[in-house]
Amino acid sequence: MSNEIQQLQNQMETALIAISKIKMKIVKLLSDENITESKRQILKGEISGLALKESQIISSTVNKMMNTEEYKNAVASIKQATEDLTSIAEETINLTNSVNKLSKTFDKIVKFIGLVAPFVI
């Protein structure tokens, strides 16, 4: 894993930890009956600011990850694997159809032999 990807993952983990802290503040805000209305408004502002900041960090980090060579290579590999699987599926369908045709032809041959055999013997 490249250093760039590692740094981006670290940023993402930091943002997720911050989101966990935001959740704790929300729980405190909702559950503490002793908080004054002004303190409640201050906490709401802090929570909104933190949430906005962390969502921007996550968005920026995801965008950076999507522009790394490792990500692009992984997407290309997945695309190729998907194409390969599609091709295999199509070949399997064609093979199944061929086997079905062969089976029907064999059935016709057996019926024909059954009809002709009494006259030949």
Does residue 114 fall inside a structural domain?
A: no
Matching residue, tokens 């399997």: 92
Predicted confidence (pLDDT) per residue in 22-61, tens digit: 888 787 777 777 878 888 788 888 888 888 888 888 888 8
Q: What is d(CA 9, CA 4) in angstroms, rounded to the nearest whole number?
A: 9
Nearest to 57 by CA among 7, 94, 100, 92: 7
- Tell me the two tokens of residue 24: 């704790």
CB 29 within 8 A of CB 40: yes
Share of the chain above pLDDT 70, in %: 98
Does residue 21 fall inside a structural domain?
A: yes
Predicted confidence (pLDDT) per residue in 10-19, tens digit: 888 888 888 8
User: What would you report as the CA-atom Rg of the chain, rounded to the nearest whole angstrom?
Assistant: 33
| Residue 11 belongs to domain spanning | 3-67
Does residue 10 fall inside a structural domain?
A: yes
Helices (H) and strands (E) in the chain, counts: 3, 0
pTM of the entire predicted model? 0.49
More confident residue, 91 or 112: 91
Q: So what's the pLDDT on residue 51?
A: 82
Does residue 13 fall inside a structural domain?
A: yes
Q: So what's the pLDDT on residue 60?
A: 85
Does residue 59 fall inside a structural domain?
A: yes
Does residue 80 fall inside a structural domain?
A: no
Q: So what's the pLDDT on residue 1?
A: 62
Does residue 88 fall inside a structural domain?
A: no
Q: So what's the pLDDT on residue 45?
A: 85
Q: What is d(CA 11, CA 41) in angstroms, rounded to the nearest whole number?
A: 29
**Angle in degrees, CA 70, 68, 78, rounded to 5:** 45
Does residue 35 fall inside a structural domain?
A: yes
Domain count of the fold of the chain = 1
